Each structure stands twice: as C-alpha cells, then as structure tokens.
Amino acid sequence: MECPHLDVGAEVEAAARSSAAAGGGKCDGCDATQSLWLCLTCGALNCGRYVAGHAKAHYEDTGHATALDWTALSVYCYTCDEYAVNDNQRLTAVRAARSAPAPRRSLRPRKPAKRSPTGRQEENEEEEVEETATKRPKEVRVVGLRNLGNTCFMNAVLQSLSNIQEFCGYFKKLPALEAKDGRGRLAYRNLRYDESDSLMTEELRKVLVSLDSGDKAAISPESLFSVIWKVVPRFRGYQQQDAHEFLRYMLDRLHTELLTLLPNEPANHSIVTSVFGGTLQSEVHCLTCGTDSKKHDPFLDLSLDVPDRFLPNRTKSKENTEECAVSCHLEDCLKSFVEVEELAESELYYCSSCKSKQRSTKRFWIRRLPNVLCLHIKRFRWSFCARTKLDTYISFPLHALDMSQFVLGQPDSHLYDLAAVIVHHGSGAGSGHYTAFAVNKGHWFHFNDSTVRAVASKEVEKCKSYILFYIRQEFRLPPF
C-alpha cells in the first residue's frame, strides 16, 4: 500500500532512533522485550499487539501514525491500518532506522521466576535464550518465520506442516516453475498454466526448502503471504485470523492447484488428500419407521467439541473448575464426536420411507483413517452475540493414540504419534497469539514466529491444544 502519511511522520532524527533502539531494548510501557515497534515520529519503543499493545496505545495517545516493526523491519501505518510499501524508496529516515542497532536484550541478573495466571512458573526471556543455546540439538536444523504483522496464525500452520516429513518432502522435490525440460516446456507439463498466475504451491515449496536449509535463524514468508492475499481474499489485511480456517483454505487451494499442475496424477487425488484425506460415514435413523440412511463424505480434518461436562462452571469454586478441566482427555472429545444425538426440531430429517420430515438421530463413524489425522478442538463459541474462547485443558497422548474404537470395522493401522500441535494464547478469537510445537528428528521444538527453542516433551503435554497433527505409525503413501 502506498501510505500517504509517511511524509508527515518519520521526521525524527536517526540519532534519536538509534538511541531509543539501543537503550535497554524494552517496551517503554511494560518492559517487554518481544515484538518491539519503533515510533518513527518520536523514537518511542513499545510492544506489539499480541504482547500488551503499547505501540497502538502510543498512536492513540499521540497520533504518531507510523512505526517500524523491528522483527520484520517493515513500516506500519496505524491510520491506514496496513503496512506501507513506499517506505524505503521515499524516506531516508526509514533507511536510517533500519540501519540502527536492533533492540538487544541486556543480560540482567537472574530474577526469581514469576507465576502466570494459570499458576505455572515462567522464566524470564533472558534465561530462555541462554537455555536454548545449550539445549538445542546440534544435529537438528530449525528455522523461525518472521511475523509480517499478525501473521502468527500462518507461521504456526507452516511450521506444523514443515515438520510432517512425508508432506513437505513431496513439495521440496517438485521442480521450480522456472525449471524446464529439454524442449523448453515447464516441468509441470501443464499447457494451461499462465506464468502471470500466482501459485501457492510454488511459494510454499520455496518456504519449505528455506526452512529445511537451516542457513538462517529466521526467514520471511513475505512472497507466500502476498500470494495468499491474491488467491484467498479472505485473508487480506493484517488482522489476526483463525489458524484452523487458514489451514483449511490452504489445503483446499493446494489440492486444486496440484490437480491442475500435475494432470497425470490419479483422478481427484493429490498429496493433500493422500496425506490428510479420510472418509466419514454419517448415519441418520428415523425414529418413526426405523429406516437408516447412510452417507460417505471425505474429510481433511475433524472438528471436535469439548463435552459439556468438562466445561468450566462459573458457579463452582476455582479449585473445582480446574479439577473439572484437567480431567478431560482427547479421547472424551472423540467419543463425543461419534455419539448418537437426536436432531433438533429445526433440523428434522426428511425420511424417504415416511415421505415427510420426522424425528431422527444422527451419528458419525470414521470409515477410512488418514495418514495424518488432523484434530481441531472447537475452542471458540458464540455466546450473547460475542465469540468466546473455551480455555479447558485437554490432555492428549504423544504416542500411540488408538483410533480403533472410532472406526467402522477393524482398520489395518490405527495407532498414531503426535507430530505437531498449534496453540492459541489469549482470550479472544480475533486477537491473541499462535505458536506451534513440533517434533523434528525425535526432538521437540517450540516455534514462536522468529524464535525457536528446544523444549521437553512435558512442556508439550501441558499446552492447551487448538489443532493436533497425528501421524499414523504405519504411514502408507501411494506412489507419485
């Protein structure tokens, strides 16, 4: 976006900006050291939206519209509510700000651990940085993803997919769009392909290759995000988006593109459906005549409700509420998914035998299990015209998730191991922050945008999962 406010702002001298950037490296409002934004009008240094939002509060108090994101080194205009594309070309002040020393965490004396609202101890960030340097396995190369402005939802999904080797390995083996065969034709063999088209497949391939290289501590997925804006208008802008919605849009788009780019693949099948695709069977039973109606539907993920008996009850004490939440297990959510339920009056089923709408029951079974089982916990609900979040803790296994009791018949392979989990931090659907845990060569890592640190499996087990990716122990991928 061509921002018209850059000429008005960004008048602060480079020396003042350098001093603000180097002097302490922390938010002026709360001493936070993550997601720092530099005001280009007065040089104030404040934290971003997913921390405490002091950068936006500074704009609301002073009217200083433009700020430099020290993570992505991009200029954001609060008045336009978008990133500016005409910053570096027109303003020497912005170039000077980018060349100024980045905020650095000072090695202060070790502070006592402080407790979070959930009662868990949290070490300060300086200690985490030092721990990471000593604990990260040298044989594993992990790379972070820069936040381009509330793009943590995308980063969490990309890091999860990149650590599913059978999926990302396929994309890394695809030829680049520039690659041509001996006759000068595109290696994708698609005669209908227009080189002016924006392909998510190609940009995802580049990101996955860069994440696997390990050459940098963090890379910018800017080109992929730009393509997403073009092909999926739903995600245009820099507002916080839902990670599950993004995952579904992305997988659907990749599947469609691959069917076009690789016409020789089996009909209606791609790496997306081969890895994530399963089949559901729905059964509707008429309570009047007893007729059963069955239907088969493909799925790429399953959305699971938190059973009502595990929801926090505001009339109970805090201790009882926490006990109720801890007792919930992923298996309880799966059992609730396949339980028989009676359809409401507004959802009466038309019975082909009775020739009218009748009271009926409905239930789901899994008819065919996927290679990668993606489970989405439905944490966001509408309540009193507002979308609220369920913060219930759900325990889940890291190994040997047994799906046999939820499948029709006896499946050949029904045991799954956890590969990745996406977590939403915060209380609101349109706010908060997304991070991901993923296992790479037997080691667990926490991916928080540009920051990646090795973690113990116990930390993974304690997280409040939003999306879980389980890989079947006997992975069976058809030849491509």
Higher pLDDT, 214 or 222: 222
Predicted pLDDT of residue 353 = 86
Query: In terms of domains, do 157 and 266 share one?
Result: yes
- Give a yes or no: residue 349 inside a domain: no
pTM: 0.70
Query: In terms of domains, do 40 and 146 share one?
Result: no
* Number of folded domains that form the chain: 2
Domain end position, chosen among 208, 239, 271: 271
User: 309 in helix, strand or coil?
Assistant: helix
| Separation CA 31–CA 111 (nearest Å) | 14
What are the two backbone dihedrals, phi and then psi, of residue 240, each rounded to the nearest 5 degrees? -65, 135
Contacts of residue 352, defined as CB under 8 A and 6 or more positions apart, other chains included, come to 291, 293
| Separation CA 106–CA 109 (nearest Å) | 9
| Separation CA 186–CA 190 (nearest Å) | 7
Among 59, 108, 52, 50, which residue's Cα sits nearest to residue 81?
59
Predicted pLDDT of residue 74 = 66
Provide the CA 344 distance to its chain's centre, in angstroms: 34
Query: In terms of domains, do 53 and 145 share one?
Result: no
CATH number at residue 64: 3.30.40.10
Query: In terms of domains, do 75 and 192 share one?
Result: no
- Give a yes or no: residue 321 inside a domain: no
Predicted pLDDT of residue 61 = 92
- Give a yes or no: residue 369 inside a domain: no
First to last CA, the chain: 41
Query: In terms of domains, do 153 and 262 share one?
Result: yes
Catalytic-labelled residue, pool 58, 376, 414, 433: 433
Query: In terms of domains, do 150 and 251 share one?
Result: yes
CATH number at residue 230: 3.90.70.10
Predicted pLDDT of residue 445 = 95
Domain end position, chosen among 38, 72, 99: 99
- Active-site residue, 152 included: yes
Instruction: Please give the C-alpha separations between residue 408 and each of 38, 283, 296, 412, 473, in angstroms, as whole numbers.
Output: 57, 12, 12, 12, 19
The pLDDT mean for the chain works out to: 77
**Cα dihedral sign, 28-33-35-39:** positive
Q: Say if CB 236 and CB 229 are below 8 A apart.
A: yes
The pLDDT tens digits for 248-284 are: 999 999 999 888 887 666 678 899 999 999 999 988 8
The pLDDT tens digits for 342-393 are: 888 777 888 888 888 888 888 888 999 999 999 999 988 766 666 678 888 9
Contacts of residue 419, defined as CB under 8 A and 6 or more positions apart, other chains included, come to 160, 163, 164, 372, 438, 439, 469, 470, 471
**Cα 349–351–356 angle (5° rounding)?**
85
Residues spanned by the domain of 30: 14-99
Domain end position, chosen among 71, 99, 127: 99
Strand 278-286 and strand 360-368: pairing?
antiparallel
Predicted pLDDT of residue 105 = 36
Instruction: Please give the C-alpha separations between residue 236 and each of 74, 75, 173, 380, in angstroms, as whole numbers.
Output: 17, 17, 29, 22
Contacts of residue 407, defined as CB under 8 A and 6 or more positions apart, other chains included, come to 365, 366, 367, 369, 414
The pLDDT tens digits for 8-38 are: 554 554 534 444 444 457 888 888 877 788 8
Query: In terms of domains, do 214 and 146 share one?
Result: yes
Q: Which long-range contacts (CB under 8 A, 24 or more apart) does 405-410 make?
A: 406/334, 406/335, 406/337, 406/338, 406/365, 406/366, 407/365, 407/366, 407/367, 407/369, 408/281, 408/365, 408/366, 408/367
Q: Could you give the residue ranges of the DSSP H alpha helices within 110-173?
A: 125-135, 152-162, 165-173
Among 462, 381, 371, 455, which residue's Cα sits nearest to residue 423?
462
| 325 — pLDDT class (breaks 50, 70, 90) | very low
Query: In terms of domains, do 34 and 146 share one?
Result: no
Give me the amino acid identity at 29: G
Predicted pLDDT of residue 26 = 84
**Cα 83–8–96 angle (5° rounding)?**
70
Q: Say if CB 144 and CB 175 are below 8 A apart.
A: no
- Give a yes or no: residue 184 inside a domain: yes
- Give a yes or no: residue 163 inside a domain: yes
Q: Which residues pair with 444 in a beta bridge?
A: 439, 455
Higher pLDDT, 451 or 195: 451
Across 128-153, average pLDDT: 69
Query: In terms of domains, do 147 and 90 share one?
Result: no
Catalytic-labelled residue, pool 3, 47, 152, 351: 152
- Give a yes or no: residue 262 inside a domain: yes
Predicted pLDDT of residue 381 = 77
| 127 — pLDDT class (breaks 50, 70, 90) | very low
Query: In terms of domains, do 229 and 150 share one?
Result: yes
Across 393-406, average pLDDT: 93
- Active-site residue, 433 included: yes
Tally the C-alpha atoms within 13 A of residue 173's C-alpha that lie toward its C-beta: 8
Res 145 pLDDT > 90: yes
Across 427-439, average pLDDT: 82
**Cα 10–15–17 angle (5° rounding)?**
50
Query: In terms of domains, do 185 and 87 share one?
Result: no
Q: What percent of the chain has pLDDT over 90?
A: 31
Higher pLDDT, 139 or 171: 171
Query: In terms of domains, do 192 and 245 share one?
Result: yes
